[in-house]
Amino acid sequence: MNRLCILTAILAFLSLCTPSSSSYASYQSPVKAAYWPSYSADSHPASSINSALFTHLFYAFADLNSSTYQVQPPSYDDGSLIGGFSSAVRKTNKKVKTLISIGGGSSDWRTFSAMASGPPSRQSFIDSSIALARKYNFDGLDLDWEFPQSSTDMANLGTLFSEWRSRANKESAQSGLPPLLLTAAVYYASALKVGNGPAYPINYIAKNLNWVNIMAFDYHGGWEPNKTGEHTALYDPNSNISTNFGVGSWLKGGLPSNQAVLGLAMYGRSWILKNTSDTGIGAAAVGAGIDDGTPFYYQIVDLINSTNATVVYDETSASVFTYSDTMWIGFDDPRSISTKVAFLKNRGLLGYFFWTASFDYKWSLATAASQALT
């Protein structure tokens, strides 16, 4: 082999092992994604997902062992759910990409903090996550750490992303398989505490992840029992608790727009009204409403149809609310979802994801979003 051939081979190998914004960070195809909570398998099996409406589907969630820092299926999954997920959703759409999401809102952030704090524990997480994805025929991995609590956590997160990408690339070169997609679910703003807390390591994200899933929901809920609120408000003229502010903070912080995927909700937040004559956004309330304050979209539609509830589209927040007697629910319908997708297109974002694929009503929200992005 002559020197030119040797040099060419070396450069080709390095291109696989070195993070590159052109080969890893810039995922050009529009993303139409959704998470599937595996704990809902009995009522909403993976096979029931209309995967033709999605480009990516996330199995949620794998667990992080608090002692070994290895990634593993949840205790209720003997391997059949995670093992059958990819084949189940590809029956409808052979091209859909699948990812394992690790963590979730009910996981312990302290376990993730400890894992990210040192090289051995990070390696345990990285190696086990890659092995799990390959074992069960997934195309990628998603970290859902809610949330790094300090500047130290954020710095360690950046290191984790860098090492994760490096190891994924090396594994790809060794196995001959395409590099795993690497993503992360993140706070709605680029810094915690409504934009005033520790900031995400955007430079490490841009270099090492394909994209981040911005959780643009849960702005308000039953933890604020005294007044109603739109938990997916696109705009809020009275505060920075809105999708417009959150996305703006990420882009101003340096995240390339084509590495941002916007979160959309297939559920609402509900309250019990204090006075039936006060029914708007911000109306006085006495606590969380139906279904512990978190009704799914299909439940909301059924409730509206059965009670003849009033439905109002709020132009200011680009969200919807409904009320009947003392019941009040803020949510999104096909119109508001389409408005939010138009917003993300205008900002040049990569696409959207839903929480979750199990909560839709006759796939009306997923269909509206897909059509609006096309």
Residue 134 neighbours by CB under 8 Å, 6+ apart: 171, 175, 177
Is residue 1 assigned to a domain?
Answer: no
Using the predicted structure, report yes or no on whether residue 20 has a pLDDT greater than 90: no
Q: How many domains does the chain have?
A: 1
Integer-rounded Cα radius of gyration of the chain: 21
Is residue 123 assigned to a domain?
Answer: yes
What residue has token string 């990420």?
Answer: 250
pLDDT for 28 = 66
**282-291 pLDDT, tens digit each:** 999 999 999 8
pLDDT for 219 = 98
Is residue 9 assigned to a domain?
Answer: no
Q: What range does the domain containing 65 cover?
A: 22-264+332-373
pLDDT for 6 = 39
CA–CA gap between residue 19 and residue 22 (Å, rounded): 9
Answer whether 246's CB lies under 8 Å from 261's CB. Answer: no
pLDDT for 374 = 87
Rounded to 10 deg, the angle between the 109-116 and 151-175 helix axes is: 70
Q: Where are the alpha helices (DSSP H) in the chain?
A: 3-17, 80-89, 109-116, 119-135, 151-175, 192-195, 202-208, 243-252, 297-307, 334-346, 364-373
Is residue 115 assigned to a domain?
Answer: yes
Please give the average per-residue pLDDT across 292-318, as a whole number: 97
pLDDT for 138 = 98
- Total-model pTM: 0.93
pLDDT for 29 = 83
Q: How confident is the model at residue 201 (pLDDT cuts 50, 70, 90)?
A: very high
Is residue 15 assigned to a domain?
Answer: no
Please give the average per-residue pLDDT across 155-184, as a whole number: 98
Q: How confident is the model at residue 18 (pLDDT cuts 50, 70, 90)?
A: very low
Please give the average per-residue pLDDT across 320-336, as a whole number: 98
pLDDT for 122 = 98
Please give the average per-residue pLDDT across 132-154, as a whole number: 98
Q: How confident is the model at residue 173 (pLDDT cuts 50, 70, 90)?
A: very high
Is residue 238 assigned to a domain?
Answer: yes
Is residue 46 assigned to a domain?
Answer: yes
pLDDT for 3 = 44
Q: How confident is the model at residue 13 (pLDDT cuts 50, 70, 90)?
A: very low
pLDDT for 7 = 40
Helix/strand/coil percent split, the chain, to 5:
40, 20, 40
Using the predicted structure, report yes or no on whether residue 27 has a pLDDT greater than 90: no
Give bridge partners of residue 144 from the DSSP assignment.
103
Residue 174 neighbours by CB under 8 Å, 6+ apart: none
Please give the average per-residue pLDDT across 17-30, as a whole number: 52
User: Could you give phi then psi for residue 249, rounded to 5 degrees?
Assistant: -65, -40
Catalytic residue numbers read 146
Give the CATH number for residue 178. Answer: 3.20.20.80
Average pLDDT of the chain is: 93
**Residue 50 half-sphere exposure, CB side, CA atoms within 13 Å?**
11
Is residue 344 assigned to a domain?
Answer: yes
pLDDT for 22 = 38
